[in-house]
Structure 1
């Protein structure tokens, strides 16, 4: 999932900026298969932290009554405000750690939500870094409509039926992006005419930004955190859960085109390139790290926050995540 890639990218950027940073994974030697990353890694269910360390914990690994590193300096990296209380009841204190952590977010909407729900926790906005060398327009663009069905599988089926039933779809490629490596997704987006945003409960909506960087026109749903992206040129936000309206708009865009269409596509890429780059992310990260390091912290033995070495705890976190998005439950165990 995209959030895992962003975690690795943060570590890459911090290392490039001279910060001693690592990705911590509980399973020895484990690597993700769908993207490559040079980020240094640490492995094991436990990790010795010093008073000079900062532990960054994804929001999905935060559980009531479980402090992964008591006394240590910590930050919650919240990539999706909808998942903030995934494992919490409304009356349970969040997160209940000592010392209290800061929170890092990736969108303006998330910053506003966390400021309202947790006003005592300092919040920093870290713009998502796009790989503009990977996600870029191809030399030639084809009549293609692409989308990612994972978040809305039922609506995606309706959408594809509506597209295929419309006579205007003759000669238009219809591509559902799923189960593909990052490089292949980037290639397809770079050649596509239109990307349909089918996000749900989004903290940011990274595929929209990547599609804009690739020169796609984007139609679809902001789904929360993606609202800021629909301020970009070449975007059209539609009412939620209107698949036939989305199909009609997409085919009209491909068949009829736009005045100065190449200019709109270029402006869209320039828009995201001014906001979501390695440079803007690194600057925000360095500031956020400096602010976090100014807070107190002690040495301790940390337990990996996802605790995937414990099948029951790991399965419980994943079960809550799947339920939150209405996705089918799958067997989960240590990897």
Structure 2
């Protein structure tokens, strides 16, 4: 059996859904008796946007290694936080340990932890595809230290199975627990995540602000908030505008549905597994006119008779919370873990 398990966490300055899920998986393993940790590159860095009990340790990695594993345009969104008060213990993983590497930092971190058994954790479609285009189809199969791959969504699983590892396993993320739950009473607040499709965000939001049917509605971007602040905003929001783009899953619209928001917008590939006409109002890709028209129609209908739309958002919350449970995540993750053929001394 392996020694310690280290989940690689990048140093980011904003709430990141992928990091939240990484912490969730590490927490499940640790509570199940696995000696799991988060590993970062600095002694003074701690991801601060959700609360968690998984210990953070550090091993100097360096921005150069990080850059090798990310698309150039994504680097522009990685902002380093200033030094904090955290003092993480320093570690040096060895051949008896396992490294869990996110797709955004593969293959750089594989090279950094050469000699350690490692698991690929894929939460993306486009990033994984671009990485495979650089490294080649047989890259994982030719690596004796690679011991398994997990994917967190249907789209991420299809991508990694087709391009990198046909034996990859789906481990769904969880959206239940204390954070999420349907909220019946809402106010005239429209929230949205502006990190994707910035050009369309400005156009669509400006058009909606100016529309007379939305008089009295407030608009609130949720970028740059802590997890608690996002939750508070979604609890109050009647509508959520989704600008998902080339997502592996797309957490913001799923979280909005779980909180009882009427969700309108783009599914962004990965969101197609949950964002349907039964749970919201999906808009065809890049159709700005349809997007604005649908928001106006939904608001107008709600002002006239809220009961049918209240029923829709209640049903969407039940669908999300009933499907993406911690119990399902734990079962899938532990099944994967127990089936692994651990290689504690790879050649």
TM over 0.5: yes
Bucket of the pairwise TM-score, normalised by the shorter protein? 0.7 to 0.9
State the Cα deviation string for residues 138-171 of structure 1 (Å, max 9, x = none): 4620122211111111110001111012111101
Q: TM-score, normalised by structure 1?
A: 0.81
The structure-2 alpha-carbon separation of the partners of 1:168 and 1:243, relative to structure 1 and needing over 3 Å to count, comes to same
Counterpart secondary structure, 1:241: coil
Choose from 105, 110, 132 the match for 2:151.
105
State the Cα deviation string for residues 59-96 of structure 1 (Å, max 9, x = none): 11112795343443221001112111445544634345
Is it true that 1:140 corresponds to 2:185 in the alignment?
yes
Cα distance in 2 for residues equivalent to 1:113 and 1:215: 30
Is it true that 1:219 corresponds to 2:264 in the alignment?
yes
Is residue 208–residue 229 contact of structure 1 (8 Å, CA) maintained in 2?
A: no
Counterpart secondary structure, 2:293: helix
- Superposition RMSD in Å: 2.3
Shift of 1:127: 0.9
Aligned to 2:297: 252
Q: How does 1:185-204 map to 2 (within 5 A)?
A: 185-204=230-249
State the Cα deviation string for residues 117-138 of structure 1 (Å, max 9, x = none): 2254x21111111144223334
Is residue 135–residue 211 contact of structure 1 (8 Å, CA) maintained in 2?
A: no
Counterpart secondary structure, 2:274: helix
Structure 2 segments unaligned to the other structure (5+ residues): 1-15, 61-90
Q: TM-score, normalised by structure 2?
A: 0.78
Cα distance in 2 for residues equivalent to 1:182 and 1:3: 13
Is residue 99–residue 297 contact of structure 1 (8 Å, CA) maintained in 2?
A: no
Is residue 193–residue 254 contact of structure 1 (8 Å, CA) maintained in 2?
A: no
Is it true that 1:297 corresponds to 2:341 in the alignment?
no
Aligned to 1:154: 199
Q: How does 1:50-69 map to 2 (within 5 A)?
A: 50-51=95-96, 53-63=97-107, 67-69=111-113
Structure 1 segments unaligned to the other structure (5+ residues): 301-335
Is residue 144–residue 346 contact of structure 2 (8 Å, CA) maintained in 1?
A: no
The structure-2 alpha-carbon separation of the partners of 1:139 and 1:237, relative to structure 1 and needing over 3 Å to count, comes to closer
Is residue 64–residue 94 contact of structure 1 (8 Å, CA) maintained in 2?
A: no
Shift of 1:182: 1.1
Is residue 95–residue 117 contact of structure 2 (8 Å, CA) maintained in 1?
A: no
Q: How does 1:231-270 map to 2 (within 5 A)?
A: 231=276, 233-257=278-302, 259-270=307-318
Aligned to 1:279: 327
Counterpart secondary structure, 2:190: strand
The structure-2 alpha-carbon separation of the partners of 1:169 and 1:185, relative to structure 1 and needing over 3 Å to count, comes to same
Cα distance in 2 for residues equivalent to 1:85 and 1:47: 30
Cα distance in 2 for residues equivalent to 1:38 and 1:243: 43
